Amino acid sequence: MKFFVDTAEVDQIAELNDLGMVDGVTTNPSLIMKSGRDIIEVTKEIAEMVDGPVSAEVVALEADAMIEEGRKLAKIADNIAVKVPLTWAGLKACNVLSNEGNMVNVTLCFSANQALLAAKAGATFISPFIGRLDDINLDGMELISDIRQIYDNYGYDTQILAASIRSVNHAYQAAMIGSDVMTAPPAVIKKMAEHPLTDAGLDAFMKDWAKTGQKIV
Ligand code: G3P
């Protein structure tokens, strides 16, 4: 499974990127707002640092304006994926932008039918939002599973990008289902390394090692 980092905080991306953990980055208008940075400047900085796709989201609501914004965002770097919302206008923009050779990430997906339309519109990535479905007592993971089955039934090559990942369990379940990509905040990715038995085992090893009085270097 590819790991995308869901943030526009350059330092946090750099830390994970140095570990080889970053296959791409996703941003959205809220994350740009939180970063306090200019969208063009920060997206360029991220795209230069990371080899994989960097999603930058349009903010227009009409298809023609989305296409214009998408073309501008795509010019920032070769690895930009233009992010458009899953509206009818967004699907039109997806179709035009992907036919022009751009990667397109269709975001704010909350149903399998929406994901089917995005694949038909030529989306490179579909972003189903797991956490926001869980927030309203629906099953976000069931959506990932449904999209996986539908895409596999018909051989669509649109990649499932599990988004709105809030916990390590979301990451685990998305991987078990076969999501192609997950995008998660840096804190969730780092938390995946944690296990209480690892901590307890290491503590015991350290105590025993101290009793040997030895040094390795
Ligand atoms: O990639 C989409 C993601 O940023 C949404 O996450 O936690 O705001 O639902 P969240």
Distance of CA 113 from the midpoint of ligand 1 (Å): 20
Pocket of ligand 1 (CB under 6 A): 6, 26, 28, 129, 131-132, 163-164, 166, 183
Instruction: Decide: pTM greater than 0.75.
Output: yes
In sequence order, which residues have a C-beta less than 8 Å from that of residue 198 and are 6 or more positions away?
none
Amino acid 82: pLDDT: 98
Q: Give the ligand 1 atom nearest the CA of 183.
A: 1
Place of tokens 């989306």: 123
- 144 pLDDT band (50/70/90 cuts)? very high
Closest residue (by CA) to atom 3 of ligand 1? 164
| Overall average pLDDT of the 98-127 stretch | 98
Nearest residue to 67 (alpha-carbon basis) of 92, 39, 41, 38 = 92
Q: What is the DSSP letter of 161?
A: E
Enzyme catalytic residues? 83
Mean pLDDT for the stretch of residues 80-109? 98
State residue 46 phi and psi, 5-degree precision.
-65, -45
Helix (H) or strand (E) holding 57: strand 54-57
Q: How many CB atoms lie within 10 A of CB 25?
A: 28
> Residue 185: pLDDT band by 50, 70, 90 thresholds?
very high
pLDDT digits (tens, 9 = 90+) for 166-183: 999 999 999 999 999 999
Report CA(212)–ligand 1 centroid distance (Å). Answer: 49
Q: Are the beta carbons of 97 and 67 closer than 8 angstroms?
A: yes
Domain limits, the chain: 2-212
> For residue 115, what pLDDT is reported?
98
Q: Which atom of ligand 1 is nearest to the CA of 185?
A: 4
Calculate mean pLDDT across residues 77-91.
Answer: 98
Nearest CA to ligand 1 atom 4: 164
Site to substitute for ligand 1 among 55, 132, 161, most atoms within 8 A of C-beta: 132
- Tell me what the mean pLDDT of segment 46-57 comes to: 98
Q: First CA to last CA across the chain, in angstroms?
A: 37
Q: Quick one: pLDDT band at residue 102, thresholds 50, 70, 90?
A: very high
Q: Which CATH superfamily is domain 2-212 in?
A: Aldolase class I (3.20.20.70)
Query: Which pLDDT belongs to residue 143?
Result: 98
